[in-house]
Amino acid sequence: MLSDSSSDSSDRSFKFPFDTNDALSIHELAVKDLPQPDAANPFSVAMHSPPAPFPSFSRQTVYCCSSPGSPPFAVDRKSVDNSAVAVTDTPFEFAPSQKSSQHTNRPPPILKSKEEKMTGNLVEKLRPKFVVENELIRAFIAELFCTAFLVFGGECVNAQYVLSQGKNNEWIGVSVGWGIALMLAVLMGSKISGAHLNPAVSFFQLTQGKMNVIRFLVYVVAQNIGAFIGAFGVFCVYFDAINAFEGGNRTVTGHTATASIFATYPGPFLGTFNAIVDQIAGTLVLCLGVAAITDSRNEIPSFLQPVWIAGLLSFLGMSMALNAGYAINPARDFAPRLFSLCVGYGWEVFSYRNYKWFWIPIICPMIGGVLGAWIYEFFIGYHIPDEALLEAEKEKQLQDVLDEVADIENQLPEYTDKKQLSDIASIHQETGFRDI
């Protein structure tokens, strides 16, 4: 749209991206071969009408609007080749169909690049600075932190149960609480280290060739350090409650004993041999279940595996905790026991029952873990067909069916087109339909 406005040019300037001098010649080229216009036909006249040329005066103004809702401005052209922009008060706006979709190279807000999205994310900015490149060190950190979280959460459940004498927690609450703590710990560390959190689990992985000796030792050290830190956290949280409950005297046995918050101790009825069987059997069930849940042939999604493992631990707490509290984890029992020695419970934490107990939840779970994992493989794991074998078997069955179909087709008589037509005609004649 052009006008002969005489408004002064401003500092907004642009250059037309086309040469308007070619407009007439292009039109003449388009209509030169058409028939002569018919004066009585308005459509014919409109077809042959040349476009209106640009005014010949020196100053021309194009009214436009930069964006919907913004005030319009006018383009004051001194010439076709060099133009200036001036803002006027004349209201004008391009129709939606006239607005260009290529007016800017900036993408719309919904198509922001990943870098732009992360501009305000401080975590993503700091990630490259704090990420640990060494994979084994990352695994060490994950095992340490996640084991600390497991022991802290689980022993806080123990503390609430012991210090309230069962008023704030039923035993089923203890079992479920340990399961939830394990679920969160496994969820956090599974993508980094596999979240073993238990030397017995790491040991059966070692015997199956899924990790080497160095990694096994690194995991065991990390798990014990993490369990020690977790016990320290529980002691800090319940320091006043422990003092009030036992009167400032750190006791291992008796009605005011609180050592069982940190480590496991057998019931008064439990003998040494039965204690050994108890810890082997409990860890056997634990590692058998872990082997089944993490077996890729069972196709349990990785994000659901922590939930299944948590349910497994809760099941053990509900079924195998009466004898000695289901330690079934050497790091979970030894490191907090060592911590309780350091905070004043005395050497009795190790000498209990004349040294016939403390080593049982350390040694026996290592045996039970290996037995459980290998029992699963021999009775279940080795007999689950691989996915590749299943696909090959399906393809073989399909090929057998195709071969049978081909044999049947070969046994059928061959028909020529002429014979087929004659057979069809005879059928129609027999049924009374003679006009095909």
Q: How far is CA 253 from CA 5, 155, 212, 264, 352, in A?
A: 102, 18, 41, 12, 9
Which of 43-57, 62-76, 92-106, 255-269 is predicted most confidently?
255-269
Length of the chain: 436
What residue numbers bound the domain in which 255 lies? Answer: 133-387
Q: How far is CA 255 from CA 58, 169, 250, 258, 325, in A?
A: 107, 18, 12, 9, 17
Q: Tell me if 304 is assigned to some domain.
A: yes
The domain that holds 163 is classified in CATH as 1.20.1080.10
Average pLDDT value for residue range 250-261: 92
* pLDDT band at 393; cut points 50, 70, 90: confident
Average pLDDT value for residue range 36-43: 60
| pLDDT for position 417 | 55
Average pLDDT value for residue range 100-118: 56
Beta bridge pairs of residue 108: none
* Edge-first strand listing for the sheet containing 2-3: 2-3, 60-64, 73-77, 84-86
362 pLDDT more than 80: yes
| pLDDT for position 7 | 46
Cα gap 80→21, rounded to integer Å = 9
| pLDDT for position 82 | 46
Q: Tell me if 247 is assigned to some domain.
A: yes
351 pLDDT more than 70: yes
Does residue 357 contact residue 275 with C-beta atoms inside 8 Å?
A: yes
Q: Tell me if 264 is assigned to some domain.
A: yes
Cα gap 280→290, rounded to integer Å = 15
| pLDDT for position 412 | 64
| pLDDT for position 39 | 60
Comparing 49-63, 217-231, 288-302, 387-401, the range with the smallest average pLDDT is: 49-63
| pLDDT for position 58 | 45
- Identify each DSSP E strand in 218-351 by its residue range: none
Q: How far is CA 113 from CA 109, 110, 124, in A?
A: 9, 9, 14
| pLDDT for position 397 | 85
Cα gap 190→198, rounded to integer Å = 13
Q: How far is CA 163 from CA 231, 252, 254, 323, in A?
A: 16, 14, 13, 21
Comparing 78-87, 296-305, 328-337, the range with the smallest average pLDDT is: 78-87
69 pLDDT more than 80: no
Average pLDDT value for residue range 306-320: 97
| pLDDT for position 6 | 45
What Rg do the C-alpha atoms of the chain give, in angstroms?
A: 42
Q: Tell me if 252 is assigned to some domain.
A: yes
* pLDDT band at 436; cut points 50, 70, 90: very low
Q: Tell me if 379 is assigned to some domain.
A: yes
Rounded to the nearest integer, the mean pLDDT of the chain is 80
Q: Is the dihedral of CA 376, 378, 383, 385 positive or negative?
A: positive
| pLDDT for position 33 | 58
Q: Tell me if 190 is assigned to some domain.
A: yes
| pLDDT for position 104 | 55
Q: Tell me if 183 is assigned to some domain.
A: yes
Q: How many domains does the chain fold into? A: 1
- For 158-173, letters b (16+ CB in 10 Å) and e give bbbbbbeeeeebeeee
| pLDDT for position 118 | 57
Q: Tell me if 107 is assigned to some domain.
A: no
Comparing 225-239, 338-352, 402-416, the range with the smallest average pLDDT is: 402-416
| pLDDT for position 111 | 56
Average pLDDT value for residue range 365-393: 90
* Residue at 91: amino acid letter: P
Cα gap 141→137, rounded to integer Å = 6
Cα gap 162→172, rounded to integer Å = 14
Q: Helical H runs in 33-134?
A: 42-48, 114-117, 122-130
12 pLDDT more than 90: no
* pLDDT band at 79; cut points 50, 70, 90: very low
| pLDDT for position 263 | 97
Q: Give Cβ neighbours of residue 264 (< 8 Å, ≥ 6 apart).
A: 324, 325, 326, 327, 333, 361
Average pLDDT value for residue range 236-247: 94
Comparing 98-112, 203-217, 378-392, the range with the smallest average pLDDT is: 98-112
83 pLDDT more than 80: no
Residues 152-178 have pLDDT tens digits of 999 999 999 999 998 888 999 999 999
| pLDDT for position 27 | 54
| pLDDT for position 386 | 79
* Residue at 207: amino acid letter: T
149 pLDDT more than 90: yes
Tokens representing 236 are 């800090």
Closest CA to 288 of 209, 377, 195: 377
| pLDDT for position 107 | 56
Comparing 62-66, 234-238, 389-393, the range with the smallest average pLDDT is: 62-66
